[in-house]
Amino acid sequence: MGLDRASSRAGFSNFQHARRSLLAYGTTSVTFRFSTFISVYWRDPKTKVSGNQIIEVSLSKALDDIIPSRNYKHARGLAYFTRSASDLIYCEMTNDSSSAVALACKAARVLQFMAATGLQPSSKAMPVSDGRGSGLPGRDHGSSWFDPESRRYIYVDEPYAAAVKDRQDERADWARRNGWEVARAIWPGMYYPEGGSELYLATDRKKGLPIGPVLSGMSRIQAATVPENCKQVHVPDGEYFRSPGQERDATAKVLKLKQKRPPRATPHTVPFKMVMASGRRPNAKMAVATHQRVGQLLKDVLTATRDRAGVANRIGSVRSELDDWVQMEYDHDALPNDVFFELYYRERVTVPDDERGVAGREVHIERLIEAKELIGSAYPDCEPVRNLVRKLDLAVKSLTSWK
């Protein structure tokens, strides 16, 4: 009876159900089918050396099925990351390559945890329910999670093993007094397993999410991704990494154009609609060679001025718009993928020191002026073109005032 009661509290029907479930999860071989790439850009502020560390992690679910990008901010290991494609996230946070790898691995562990459990991160704090005003003894690096279907919560506590080694009885007593259940997982956790942290699940026995099914899901995770075992992706010097998802997205933008003829046009503009983009564009073509020159000018400025939002954001908007326009101007035969992919989004990896930041202000202003003149001479005067020119003017203004 005691084992059945404990199994029931853990979310199983009885002890035999719990035993069969845990054994099944422990012996079933899971075939991972979805590769997700995690990219971390780094730059040493003293030596000015920079780089990009990329790891690949295999998951049981696709990235967008694990977590919507709007929820990244609630997960400690994903808060600084941005979704770039259906299989790629990136951030620009660290000062050296080893820290970049560690940060990528931490994000991978968070995705491993969510893929296995189906839980979503929450900003909700772990409640302090002890009548004496104290929480779970020794708790550290806590995070909150919920089941999207039941909307019930469970909490993850990830203290260092040494910090709670002699406090297990104290923690168990706290759980008993407050009607909570606390259980340590076999899987080492998300926070810093390579540094000695371990993972505990904590839940309110009456209102919280049962621990048993979550532990069962976690038992399907193989090894936690850490710097010592992660699969690093090495990109040759001078080449730009592009994930399979990015390639698919780019191809989809080219191929999935609107079938019907646009409903109306003005003398100088036509409406357009494509996957993830719509609006009006000039009723003219800019030569591919001119697109190549404008793209190179914009990319050279952007790679050297990422720290200046007033420049980077406006150039990013201009190149995105031109990237859409060129796809409407030329079909696949006239603009094959190997040419198209190079136009606006394959950037240089190394930036000369005399071009980085404020040091390269004058050359960047000259580049933007040339890009503006090329756009103005290739397209008729119309509002879409004037909008691009305004953004380039604002980028020049931001460069001029950069101290």
Tens of pLDDT, residue by residue over 348-365, are 888 888 888 888 889 999
pLDDT value of residue 99: 94
pLDDT value of residue 9: 44
Q: Does this model's pTM top 0.85?
A: no
268 with 331, same domain: the answer is: yes
pLDDT tens digits, 354-396: 888 888 889 999 999 999 999 999 999 999 999 999 999 999 9
Asked if residue 175 is part of any domain, the answer here is yes
CA 249 – CA 243 distance, rounded (Å):
10
Q: How many CB atoms lie within 10 A of CB 286?
A: 20
CATH of the domain at 298: 1.20.1260.40
pLDDT value of residue 182: 95
Strand partners, 41: 52, 92
172 with 252, same domain: the answer is: no
278 with 138, same domain: the answer is: no
Counts for the chain of helices (H) and strands (E), in that order = 13, 12
297 with 336, same domain: the answer is: yes
308 with 373, same domain: the answer is: yes
Asked if residue 213 is part of any domain, the answer here is yes
Number of domains making up the chain: 2
Strand partners, 83: 89
**Mean pLDDT rounded to a whole number for the chain:** 86
Using alpha carbons, list the distances in angstroms from residue 153 to 64, 205, 219.
Answer: 22, 11, 20
Encoded amino acid at 287, one letter: A
Asked if residue 308 is part of any domain, the answer here is yes
159 touches 181 (CB < 8 A): no
The mean per-residue pLDDT over the stretch 153-163 comes to 95
197 with 257, same domain: the answer is: no
Asked if residue 254 is part of any domain, the answer here is yes
Strand partners, 89: 38, 83
The mean per-residue pLDDT over the stretch 329-338 comes to 88
128 with 224, same domain: the answer is: yes
Angle between helices 309-329 and 244-255 (to 10 degrees): 50
pLDDT of 27 over the 50 cut: no
Measuring CA to CA, which residue among 178, 168, 220 is closest to residue 203?
178
The mean per-residue pLDDT over the stretch 196-223 comes to 93
Q: Which domain holds residue 362?
A: 244-400
63 touches 57 (CB < 8 A): no
Among 211, 233, 255, where does a domain finish? Answer: 233
Encoded amino acid at 364, one letter: H
Among 192, 212, 233, where does a domain finish? Answer: 233
